[in-house]
Amino acid sequence: MVKAVSLLSGGLDSILAIRIIQEQKVNIVAVHFSIPFTSKKDKNYNLSKKLSDELGIHLELIKIKKEYLSIVKNPKYGYGSNFNPCIDCRIFMVKKAKEYMNKIKASFLITGEVLGQRPMSQRKDVLTIIEKESKMQGLILRPLSAKLLKPTIPEEKGWVDRSKLLNISGRSRKKQIELANNFNIKDYLTPAGGCLLTDPAFSRKMADLLKFKGDFGLHEIELLKVGRHFRLNSESKLIIGRNESENSKLLKLAKIEDLIFSPIRVKCPVAIGRGDFNKENKTLACKIIAKYCKDSSFQTIKLHCGKNTVDNTITVLPIESKEIKKYRI
Protein backbone atom coordinates (compact mmCIF):
# COMPACT_ATOMS: atom_id res chain seq x y z
CA MET A 1 0.00 0.00 0.00
CA VAL A 2 1.34 3.45 -0.88
CA LYS A 3 2.42 5.51 2.11
CA ALA A 4 1.78 9.26 2.58
CA VAL A 5 2.60 11.82 5.24
CA SER A 6 -0.14 14.24 6.23
CA LEU A 7 0.18 17.50 8.14
CA LEU A 8 -2.10 17.48 11.16
CA SER A 9 -2.45 20.77 13.02
CA GLY A 10 -5.62 19.78 14.86
CA GLY A 11 -7.65 22.19 12.68
CA LEU A 12 -10.69 20.90 10.81
CA ASP A 13 -9.19 21.14 7.32
CA SER A 14 -6.21 18.97 8.20
CA ILE A 15 -8.50 16.34 9.75
CA LEU A 16 -10.82 16.33 6.74
CA ALA A 17 -7.88 15.96 4.34
CA ILE A 18 -6.84 12.80 6.20
CA ARG A 19 -10.39 11.43 6.38
CA ILE A 20 -10.91 11.92 2.63
CA ILE A 21 -7.70 10.11 1.72
CA GLN A 22 -8.30 7.41 4.32
CA GLU A 23 -11.29 6.35 2.21
CA GLN A 24 -8.77 5.34 -0.45
CA LYS A 25 -6.06 2.71 -0.11
CA VAL A 26 -3.33 4.92 1.35
CA ASN A 27 -1.32 4.30 4.50
CA ILE A 28 -1.24 7.70 6.24
CA VAL A 29 1.23 8.85 8.88
CA ALA A 30 0.53 12.28 10.39
CA VAL A 31 3.00 14.92 11.52
CA HIS A 32 2.27 17.71 13.97
CA PHE A 33 4.57 20.72 14.24
CA SER A 34 5.17 22.47 17.50
CA ILE A 35 6.54 25.96 16.84
CA PRO A 36 7.75 28.50 19.43
CA PHE A 37 4.95 30.89 18.52
CA THR A 38 1.94 28.75 19.37
CA SER A 39 0.04 29.93 22.43
CA LYS A 40 -1.42 26.50 23.23
CA LYS A 41 1.32 24.09 22.18
CA ASP A 42 0.33 21.27 24.50
CA LYS A 43 -3.39 21.66 23.84
CA ASN A 44 -2.84 21.56 20.06
CA TYR A 45 -0.63 18.50 20.30
CA ASN A 46 -2.91 16.66 22.73
CA LEU A 47 -5.88 17.25 20.47
CA SER A 48 -3.94 16.11 17.41
CA LYS A 49 -2.85 13.00 19.31
CA LYS A 50 -6.43 12.25 20.31
CA LEU A 51 -7.58 12.73 16.71
CA SER A 52 -4.83 10.57 15.22
CA ASP A 53 -5.67 7.84 17.75
CA GLU A 54 -9.32 8.03 16.70
CA LEU A 55 -8.28 7.90 13.05
CA GLY A 56 -6.02 4.94 13.80
CA ILE A 57 -2.85 6.55 12.45
CA HIS A 58 0.59 7.25 13.89
CA LEU A 59 1.33 10.86 14.86
CA GLU A 60 4.88 12.16 14.71
CA LEU A 61 5.58 15.28 16.75
CA ILE A 62 8.20 17.55 15.18
CA LYS A 63 9.44 20.21 17.57
CA ILE A 64 10.67 23.31 15.82
CA LYS A 65 12.91 25.52 17.89
CA LYS A 66 15.76 27.94 17.15
CA GLU A 67 15.91 27.24 13.41
CA TYR A 68 12.47 28.80 12.98
CA LEU A 69 13.65 32.18 14.28
CA SER A 70 15.57 33.08 11.11
CA ILE A 71 12.29 32.83 9.16
CA VAL A 72 10.55 35.22 11.54
CA LYS A 73 13.48 37.64 11.51
CA ASN A 74 13.89 37.80 7.76
CA PRO A 75 11.17 36.08 5.70
CA LYS A 76 11.89 35.90 1.97
CA TYR A 77 8.21 36.35 1.15
CA GLY A 78 7.46 38.95 3.80
CA TYR A 79 4.84 39.17 6.51
CA GLY A 80 1.05 38.96 6.46
CA SER A 81 -1.11 41.56 8.15
CA ASN A 82 0.74 41.05 11.44
CA PHE A 83 4.11 39.39 12.09
CA ASN A 84 3.12 36.16 10.36
CA PRO A 85 5.57 34.99 7.68
CA CYS A 86 3.02 32.44 6.44
CA ILE A 87 4.56 31.64 3.06
CA ASP A 88 8.04 31.04 4.46
CA CYS A 89 6.49 29.15 7.37
CA ARG A 90 4.61 26.79 5.03
CA ILE A 91 7.74 26.23 2.93
CA PHE A 92 9.66 25.44 6.11
CA MET A 93 7.02 22.96 7.28
CA VAL A 94 6.82 21.24 3.91
CA LYS A 95 10.62 20.90 3.86
CA LYS A 96 10.53 19.37 7.35
CA ALA A 97 7.71 17.04 6.35
CA LYS A 98 9.71 16.04 3.28
CA GLU A 99 12.64 15.04 5.51
CA TYR A 100 10.27 12.85 7.47
CA MET A 101 8.75 11.45 4.25
CA ASN A 102 12.21 10.42 3.10
CA LYS A 103 12.92 8.84 6.48
CA ILE A 104 9.82 6.65 6.47
CA LYS A 105 9.83 6.17 2.67
CA ALA A 106 6.49 7.87 2.06
CA SER A 107 5.58 8.77 -1.51
CA PHE A 108 3.69 12.05 -1.15
CA LEU A 109 2.42 14.70 1.23
CA ILE A 110 -1.19 15.55 2.13
CA THR A 111 -2.22 18.96 3.47
CA GLY A 112 -5.53 20.53 4.44
CA GLU A 113 -4.88 23.69 2.44
CA VAL A 114 -7.93 25.22 0.80
CA LEU A 115 -7.50 27.39 -2.27
CA GLY A 116 -8.22 31.04 -1.47
CA GLN A 117 -9.01 30.46 2.19
CA ARG A 118 -6.10 32.47 3.51
CA PRO A 119 -5.16 35.61 1.63
CA MET A 120 -1.43 35.14 2.03
CA SER A 121 -0.51 31.48 1.97
CA GLN A 122 -3.34 29.76 0.09
CA ARG A 123 -3.43 31.61 -3.21
CA LYS A 124 -2.84 29.46 -6.29
CA ASP A 125 0.45 31.18 -7.15
CA VAL A 126 1.64 30.76 -3.55
CA LEU A 127 0.82 27.04 -3.50
CA THR A 128 3.08 26.75 -6.55
CA ILE A 129 5.85 28.73 -4.81
CA ILE A 130 5.63 26.44 -1.77
CA GLU A 131 6.03 23.37 -3.99
CA LYS A 132 8.90 24.87 -5.94
CA GLU A 133 10.84 26.15 -2.92
CA SER A 134 10.52 22.82 -1.14
CA LYS A 135 11.26 20.85 -4.34
CA MET A 136 7.98 19.01 -3.93
CA GLN A 137 6.39 19.77 -7.32
CA GLY A 138 3.49 17.41 -7.94
CA LEU A 139 3.94 15.71 -4.58
CA ILE A 140 1.63 17.81 -2.40
CA LEU A 141 -1.94 16.60 -2.52
CA ARG A 142 -4.60 18.99 -1.22
CA PRO A 143 -7.73 16.83 -1.13
CA LEU A 144 -10.13 19.67 -0.24
CA SER A 145 -9.25 21.72 -3.34
CA ALA A 146 -7.62 19.11 -5.58
CA LYS A 147 -10.17 19.37 -8.39
CA LEU A 148 -9.35 23.06 -8.77
CA LEU A 149 -5.64 22.34 -9.03
CA LYS A 150 -3.40 20.56 -11.53
CA PRO A 151 -3.44 16.77 -11.05
CA THR A 152 -0.64 15.68 -8.75
CA ILE A 153 1.69 12.70 -9.15
CA PRO A 154 -0.37 10.52 -6.73
CA GLU A 155 -3.44 11.18 -8.89
CA GLU A 156 -1.61 10.59 -12.17
CA LYS A 157 -0.11 7.35 -10.91
CA GLY A 158 -3.52 6.16 -9.73
CA TRP A 159 -2.53 5.95 -6.05
CA VAL A 160 -5.42 8.34 -5.36
CA ASP A 161 -8.71 8.56 -7.25
CA ARG A 162 -9.11 12.19 -8.36
CA SER A 163 -12.86 11.79 -8.81
CA LYS A 164 -13.22 11.33 -5.06
CA LEU A 165 -11.40 14.55 -4.23
CA LEU A 166 -13.09 17.92 -3.67
CA ASN A 167 -13.29 21.39 -5.18
CA ILE A 168 -13.62 23.64 -2.15
CA SER A 169 -12.30 27.19 -2.34
CA GLY A 170 -12.66 30.47 -0.51
CA ARG A 171 -13.10 31.60 3.05
CA SER A 172 -16.51 30.09 3.80
CA ARG A 173 -16.36 27.14 6.19
CA LYS A 174 -19.83 25.85 5.26
CA LYS A 175 -18.73 22.83 3.21
CA GLN A 176 -16.11 21.85 5.78
CA ILE A 177 -18.71 21.97 8.58
CA GLU A 178 -21.04 19.77 6.50
CA LEU A 179 -18.22 17.30 5.91
CA ALA A 180 -17.35 17.33 9.62
CA ASN A 181 -20.95 16.39 10.40
CA ASN A 182 -20.87 13.61 7.80
CA PHE A 183 -17.66 12.21 9.23
CA ASN A 184 -18.89 12.80 12.81
CA ILE A 185 -15.89 15.00 13.61
CA LYS A 186 -16.70 17.13 16.64
CA ASP A 187 -13.43 18.16 18.23
CA TYR A 188 -11.06 20.45 16.32
CA LEU A 189 -9.15 23.69 16.72
CA THR A 190 -10.35 27.08 15.49
CA PRO A 191 -8.77 28.06 12.14
CA ALA A 192 -6.10 30.43 13.59
CA GLY A 193 -4.83 27.57 15.80
CA GLY A 194 -3.31 29.96 18.33
CA CYS A 195 -0.46 31.24 16.15
CA LEU A 196 0.77 34.27 18.09
CA LEU A 197 2.36 35.76 14.99
CA THR A 198 -1.14 36.60 13.73
CA ASP A 199 -2.01 38.39 16.97
CA PRO A 200 -1.67 42.21 16.74
CA ALA A 201 -0.62 42.69 20.39
CA PHE A 202 2.03 39.97 20.22
CA SER A 203 3.20 41.32 16.85
CA ARG A 204 3.83 44.74 18.38
CA LYS A 205 6.05 43.11 20.97
CA MET A 206 7.84 41.16 18.22
CA ALA A 207 8.46 44.34 16.23
CA ASP A 208 9.91 45.99 19.32
CA LEU A 209 12.14 42.99 19.99
CA LEU A 210 13.39 42.89 16.43
CA LYS A 211 14.16 46.61 16.53
CA PHE A 212 15.99 46.67 19.86
CA LYS A 213 17.37 43.12 20.15
CA GLY A 214 17.68 41.67 16.69
CA ASP A 215 19.78 38.73 17.94
CA PHE A 216 16.93 37.45 20.13
CA GLY A 217 16.59 33.77 21.00
CA LEU A 218 13.87 31.47 22.26
CA HIS A 219 14.12 32.82 25.81
CA GLU A 220 13.04 36.28 24.66
CA ILE A 221 10.10 34.77 22.79
CA GLU A 222 8.92 33.00 25.95
CA LEU A 223 9.12 36.30 27.80
CA LEU A 224 7.00 38.04 25.15
CA LYS A 225 4.18 35.63 25.94
CA VAL A 226 3.92 36.85 29.53
CA GLY A 227 2.80 40.15 31.06
CA ARG A 228 2.49 43.77 30.02
CA HIS A 229 5.58 45.06 28.23
CA PHE A 230 6.95 48.61 28.36
CA ARG A 231 9.82 50.08 26.37
CA LEU A 232 11.57 52.55 28.69
CA ASN A 233 14.37 53.51 26.29
CA SER A 234 16.42 51.80 23.60
CA GLU A 235 18.43 49.95 26.27
CA SER A 236 15.76 48.85 28.71
CA LYS A 237 12.31 47.38 29.02
CA LEU A 238 9.94 46.53 31.85
CA ILE A 239 7.58 43.57 32.09
CA ILE A 240 4.74 43.46 34.64
CA GLY A 241 2.70 40.35 35.45
CA ARG A 242 -1.08 40.47 34.94
CA ASN A 243 -2.05 37.77 37.43
CA GLU A 244 -0.63 35.21 39.85
CA SER A 245 0.17 32.73 37.12
CA GLU A 246 2.07 35.35 35.09
CA ASN A 247 3.86 36.55 38.22
CA SER A 248 5.33 33.12 38.83
CA LYS A 249 6.15 32.62 35.14
CA LEU A 250 8.01 35.94 35.13
CA LEU A 251 10.05 34.96 38.16
CA LYS A 252 10.99 31.70 36.44
CA LEU A 253 11.96 33.51 33.23
CA ALA A 254 14.00 36.22 34.98
CA LYS A 255 17.72 36.04 34.30
CA ILE A 256 20.25 36.66 37.04
CA GLU A 257 21.14 40.04 35.50
CA ASP A 258 17.49 41.21 35.37
CA LEU A 259 16.14 43.64 37.92
CA ILE A 260 13.30 42.39 40.07
CA PHE A 261 11.18 45.17 41.47
CA SER A 262 9.59 44.46 44.84
CA PRO A 263 7.40 47.12 46.42
CA ILE A 264 7.21 47.55 50.20
CA ARG A 265 3.98 47.21 52.22
CA VAL A 266 1.69 47.20 49.22
CA LYS A 267 0.40 44.49 46.91
CA CYS A 268 1.90 44.83 43.45
CA PRO A 269 2.39 42.45 40.55
CA VAL A 270 5.82 40.98 39.84
CA ALA A 271 7.85 43.24 37.57
CA ILE A 272 11.20 42.61 35.97
CA GLY A 273 13.51 45.02 34.21
CA ARG A 274 15.72 43.86 31.40
CA GLY A 275 18.61 45.81 29.93
CA ASP A 276 20.70 48.71 31.23
CA PHE A 277 19.12 50.61 34.11
CA ASN A 278 20.29 53.93 35.50
CA LYS A 279 18.60 56.03 38.20
CA GLU A 280 16.35 57.67 35.62
CA ASN A 281 14.84 54.56 34.04
CA LYS A 282 14.67 52.75 37.40
CA THR A 283 12.51 55.62 38.64
CA LEU A 284 10.38 55.51 35.51
CA ALA A 285 9.94 51.74 35.92
CA CYS A 286 8.85 52.24 39.56
CA LYS A 287 6.33 54.90 38.53
CA ILE A 288 4.81 52.50 36.00
CA ILE A 289 4.72 49.61 38.48
CA ALA A 290 3.11 51.85 41.10
CA LYS A 291 0.23 52.36 38.69
CA TYR A 292 -0.58 48.66 38.88
CA CYS A 293 -0.36 48.39 42.68
CA LYS A 294 -3.54 47.84 44.66
CA ASP A 295 -3.36 51.24 46.37
CA SER A 296 -1.81 53.46 43.74
CA SER A 297 -2.35 56.82 45.46
CA PHE A 298 1.23 56.99 46.78
CA GLN A 299 3.83 54.21 46.90
CA THR A 300 7.25 53.49 48.24
CA ILE A 301 8.92 51.04 45.94
CA LYS A 302 11.86 49.04 47.15
CA LEU A 303 14.07 47.97 44.33
CA HIS A 304 15.82 44.60 44.39
CA CYS A 305 18.64 44.09 41.93
CA GLY A 306 19.35 40.58 40.74
CA LYS A 307 17.24 37.99 42.48
CA ASN A 308 18.04 38.54 46.13
CA THR A 309 20.25 41.48 46.86
CA VAL A 310 18.73 44.75 48.02
CA ASP A 311 20.03 47.54 45.86
CA ASN A 312 18.19 50.69 46.75
CA THR A 313 14.83 52.19 47.57
CA ILE A 314 13.03 54.61 45.32
CA THR A 315 9.95 56.58 46.30
CA VAL A 316 7.64 57.52 43.49
CA LEU A 317 4.18 58.71 42.59
CA PRO A 318 2.38 56.49 40.07
CA ILE A 319 2.70 57.60 36.47
CA GLU A 320 -0.20 59.58 34.97
CA SER A 321 -2.63 57.48 32.90
CA LYS A 322 -2.01 59.48 29.73
CA GLU A 323 1.78 59.18 30.19
CA ILE A 324 1.85 55.41 30.49
CA LYS A 325 0.67 54.90 26.91
CA LYS A 326 3.95 56.33 25.62
CA TYR A 327 5.82 53.34 27.04
CA ARG A 328 3.41 50.45 26.50
CA ILE A 329 4.47 48.17 23.69
Binding residues for ligand SF4 (CB under 6 A):
84-86, 89-90, 121, 195, 197-198
DSSP H or E run through 151: none
Q: For residues 275 and 235, is the Cβ–Cβ distance under 8 A? A: yes
Residue 62 C-beta: closest distance to ligand SF4, Å:
13
| DSSP class of 162 | G
Rounded to whole angstroms, the maximal C-alpha distance in the chain is: 77
Bridging pattern class, strands 108-110 and 2-7 = parallel
Helices 86-104 + 124-133 axis angle, to 10:
50
**C-beta closer to ligand SF4: residue 77 or 277:** 77
Bridging pattern class, strands 108-110 and 140-141 = parallel
Strand partners, 258: none
**C-beta closer to ligand SF4: residue 14 or 121:** 121
Q: For residues 131 and 152, is the Cβ–Cβ distance under 8 A? A: no
- The torsion defined by the Cα of 113, 39, 187 and 5, in degrees rounded to 10, comes to 40
Residue 122 C-beta: closest distance to ligand SF4, Å:
10
Q: What's the rounded Cα separation, in Å, for the pair 39 and 196?
A: 6
Residue 140 C-beta: closest distance to ligand SF4, Å:
15
**C-beta closer to ligand SF4: residue 104 or 192:** 192
Q: Is 141 helix (H, G, I), strand (E, B) or coil?
A: strand
Residue 71 C-beta: closest distance to ligand SF4, Å:
8
Measured distance between the N- and C-terminal CA atoms of the chain, rounded to whole angstroms: 54
**C-beta closer to ligand SF4: residue 116 or 306:** 116
**C-beta closer to ligand SF4: residue 89 or 140:** 89
Residue 89 C-beta: closest distance to ligand SF4, Å:
3
**C-beta closer to ligand SF4: residue 92 or 261:** 92
Residue 85 C-beta: closest distance to ligand SF4, Å:
6
Residue 120 C-beta: closest distance to ligand SF4, Å:
7
**C-beta closer to ligand SF4: residue 118 or 228:** 118
Q: What's the rounded Cα separation, in Å, for the pair 122 and 113?
A: 7
Q: What's the rounded Cα separation, in Å, for the pair 58 and 240?
A: 42
**C-beta closer to ligand SF4: residue 121 or 247:** 121
- The torsion defined by the Cα of 279, 281, 287 and 290, in degrees rounded to 10, comes to -90
Residue 282 C-beta: closest distance to ligand SF4, Å:
37
